[in-house]
Amino acid sequence: MSHLFDPLTLRGVTLRNRIGISPMCQYSAEDGLANDWHMVHLGSRAVGGAGLIIVEATAVTPEGRISPNDVGIWSDAHADALRPITRFMREYGAVPGVQLAHAGRKAGTARPWDGGKPVSDEDGGWDIIGPSAIPFAEEYRTPQAMTRTELDQVKAAFSAAATRADAAGFECVEIHAAHGYLLHSFHSPIANQRTDAYGGSFENRVRFTLEVTREVRAVWPDDKPLLVRLSCTDWIEGGWTLEESIALARLLKDEGVDLIDCSSGGIARGAKIPTTPGYQVPFAEAIRKQAGIATAAVGLITQPADADAIIREGHADMVLLGRESLRDPYFPQRAARELLGSAGDLLPPQYWRAWE
Ligand code: FNR
Ligand code: XEN
């Protein structure tokens, strides 16, 4: 019996199945504005049958962009650019979600196909911020250690972004607290050496994420789910651990978070990551069981049978697909055919002739 196609209800929102599209930067925006690329890319995955589509890391301030070509949501014009895309995703049965992000000390880099290195001032780069004045890597800028005023400004930017996400038609928001970006960099002693209330003990290192979450939850409608993506381990001795992620997940649940999206890594180079199929699934399982909150599993999930087993065996409540969905936007339809014998309602009538 397959369970991958069971609906999943989070607050007032029901996903048609347990397959989500993981947030993936497209590095294709100008001035943070979503455009035709985003419509076609995200729209195709809605037509392909995904239950949830999480729009790429979407910057809450211009300085919070990973690259000058990231999508942003720091003004109403940005929300206006996203609205037709959320409408299309909904029309084709997918729940539109967006990942709200600030890249912190990893901001201001060129897009991967332009080399991915930090961008100089002359080429349009900018000064960056982080918990401490510790650069991500040798060639990176040294971040300015954030002042209390800057912490408040970033919290306000996340909450304004959530308000705009609602106005843009999103039904789900994910806070990006993974991959070495701003919030994760507060969690990890590798990037956070503060001596104030935001550094040192576990309680202090998670304070900023909890405050951001509280401000977002306060403006995000009660009937819409809130997700948080965590790097569940740094994979580095002396870094952030799974045990700390479980403890943070419990606190996030108390703040009204509905699901933890379980990723890992990204705080520093040189981490030893065992990239075998489903290598992050144990994190989703541990947090689901020990923190009592719904989880998403992500990372090297490429086969319909494996995705189904993750749900059926109770390792996670849903799966998120990254690169496999770039290879095949119709993965959900294909998985339904393989597991159920037919793509059923996931196949739009425009495509029925192909399968008659
Ligand atoms: C990513 N990933 C990612 N993660 C995230 O939280 N926000 C983002 O915007 C991005 N951007 C991004 C771009 C591209 C091109 C890739 C390939 C990946 C990570 C992604 O969501 C996912 O967690 C990983 O790729 C692991 O899943 P897969 O690809 O093994 O299914
Ligand atoms: C640890 C890196 C995971 C993969 N990436 C994540 C991104 C963008 C670059 C690739 C992200 O979280 N925005």
Site residues for ligand 1, CB cut-off 6 Å: 22-25, 56-57, 99, 176, 178-179, 229, 263, 298-301, 321-324
Ligand nearest to the CA of 104: 2
Q: Report CA(148)–ligand 1 centroid distance (Å).
A: 31
Q: How many domains does the chain fold into? A: 1
First to last CA, the chain: 25
pLDDT in tens, the chain (356 residues): 999 999 999 999 999 999 999 999 999 999 999 999 999 999 999 999 999 999 999 999 999 999 999 999 999 999 999 999 999 999 999 999 999 999 999 999 999 999 999 999 999 999 999 999 999 999 999 999 999 999 999 999 999 999 999 999 999 999 999 999 999 999 999 999 999 999 999 999 999 999 999 999 999 999 999 999 999 999 999 999 999 999 999 999 999 999 999 999 999 999 999 999 999 999 999 999 999 999 999 999 999 999 999 999 999 999 999 999 999 999 999 999 999 999 999 999 999 999 98
Best CA proximity match to 97, nearest among 36, 26, 172, 151: 172
> Strands 226-231, 172-177: parallel, antiparallel or unpaired by DSSP?
parallel
Give pairs for 81-85: CB < 8 Å, separation 24+. Answer: 81/33, 81/34, 81/35, 82/34, 82/38, 82/55, 82/168, 82/169, 82/170, 83/167, 83/168, 83/169, 84/39, 85/34, 85/38, 85/39, 85/42, 85/43, 85/55
Would you state the structure tokens that stand for residue 225, as one six-digit string? 């789910």
In angstroms, the Cα distances linking 21 to 38, 81, 225 are 14, 20, 16
Stated pTM of the model: 0.99
Count Cβ atoms below 10 Å from residue 320 Cβ, excluding itself.
29
Half-sphere exposure (Cβ direction) of 194: Cα atoms closer than 13 Å: 25
Ligand nearest to the CA of 24: 1
**DSSP codes joined into one string, 205-273:** HTHHHHHHHHHHHHHS-TTS-EEEEEE---SSTTS--HHHHHHHHHHHHHTT--EEEEE---SSTT---
Asked if residue 24 lies in contact with residue 67, where contact means CB atoms within 8 angstroms, the answer is no
Domain residues for the domain of 294 are 3-355
Q: Residue 152 belongs to what H/E stretch? A: helix 148-167
CATH of the domain at 53: 3.20.20.70
Residues 6 or more apart whose CB falls under 8 angstroms from that of 353 comprise none
| Ramachandran angles phi, psi of 100, nearest 5° | -90, 130
Q: Report CA(299)–ligand 1 centroid distance (Å).
A: 8
Active site residues: 181
Q: Report CA(313)–ligand 1 centroid distance (Å).
A: 24
Which atom of ligand 1 is found nearest the CA of 323? 29
Protein residue with least CA distance to atom 31, ligand 1: 322
